[in-house]
Amino acid sequence: MKDSQWVDIVNERIKMEGKQKHVDVLKSEVEILATKLQEHGTGHIHTTIHTLKHRIEELQKEIKKEE
């Protein structure tokens, strides 16, 4: 394996790990937001949770593609 190939492999791994950390942070945010839900007046939080979950799914698909 050439040095340039090794650098490319390492750089790709860094990108993947960065995305996984992003996913982990988003999941934490969803958990925090879920604790703030109430019966009334928190529709915006429901929307935010839904949006974050969708983004998590997108990132997870990207990570799988890059593996």
Cβ neighbors of 23 (< 8 A, separation 6 or more) are: 56, 59, 60, 63
The C-alpha atoms of residue 50 and residue 34 are separated, in whole angstroms, by: 11
The C-alpha atoms of residue 59 and residue 35 are separated, in whole angstroms, by: 24
pLDDT bin (cut points 50, 70, 90) of residue 67 is confident
- Each domain of the chain, given as residue ranges in start order, spans 3-66
Which helix or strand (DSSP H or E) is residue 40 part of? Answer: none
pLDDT tens, residue by residue, 2-55:
677 877 877 777 776 888 999 999 999 999 999 999 999 999 999 999 999 999
Query: Is the Cβ–Cβ distance between 60 and 24 less than 8 Å?
Result: no
The C-alpha atoms of residue 40 and residue 13 are separated, in whole angstroms, by: 44
